[in-house]
Amino acid sequence: MIAVFRETGRVTDEDALRAAVERRAQALASGRASALEAVLHPRFRWTSHRGEVFDRAAYVRSNTAGDLVWRQQLVDRTEVVVLGDTGLVTCVVTDQVEVDGASRSFRMPVTQTWVREAGEWRCLAGHAGPLL
């Protein structure tokens, strides 16, 4: 688990959620459907920067199969709010991908809603865009 330890030696809820956000970015870049499914809630929904809405199966398929090949997702300017077992994340991502063999880079704000079940954070919903 990637986490930042505070001086108390304990991982805060916010630190654990930040680590989950990084795991999701790494799962995207891995191109492995199983890795991506592991961090997404079964009732997951995503709205793309183009306004397309995906359920979990469609999101995983669109990011792991076909002409889009992920290389990296960099996450910065991350802000996290945790209230009980619900977390809200706002950040800016830089996506490095290949589309039809051409390298592309996209930068955009992202908002994600996370839920913690059985001690594990899973992304329930997200929205990307507009492009910066």
**CATH fold of the domain at 13-128:** Nuclear Transport Factor 2; Chain: A, (3.10.450)
Please say whether the dihedral angle defined by the alpha carbons of residues 19, 125, 51 and 66, taken in this order, is positive or negative: positive
Tell me the C-alpha distance between 117 and 53, whole Å: 24
Higher pLDDT, 14 or 11: 14
Residue 25: enclosing H or E segment and its boundaries?
A: helix 13-30
Is the pLDDT reported for residue 10 higher than 90?
no
Beta bridge partners of 126: 46, 112
Question: pLDDT, tens digit, for every residue of 71-92?
Answer: 999 999 999 999 999 999 999 9
| Averaged confidence pLDDT in the chain | 94
CA distances from 57 to 7, 9, 60, 132 (A): 40, 38, 5, 27
96 touches 25 (CB < 8 A): no
Tell me the C-alpha distance between 28 and 22, whole Å: 10
Question: pLDDT, tens digit, for every residue of 110-123?
Answer: 999 999 999 999 99
Tell me the C-alpha distance between 60 and 75, whole Å: 19
Q: What is the pTM of this model?
A: 0.90
Cis ω before 42 (30° cut-off from 0):
no
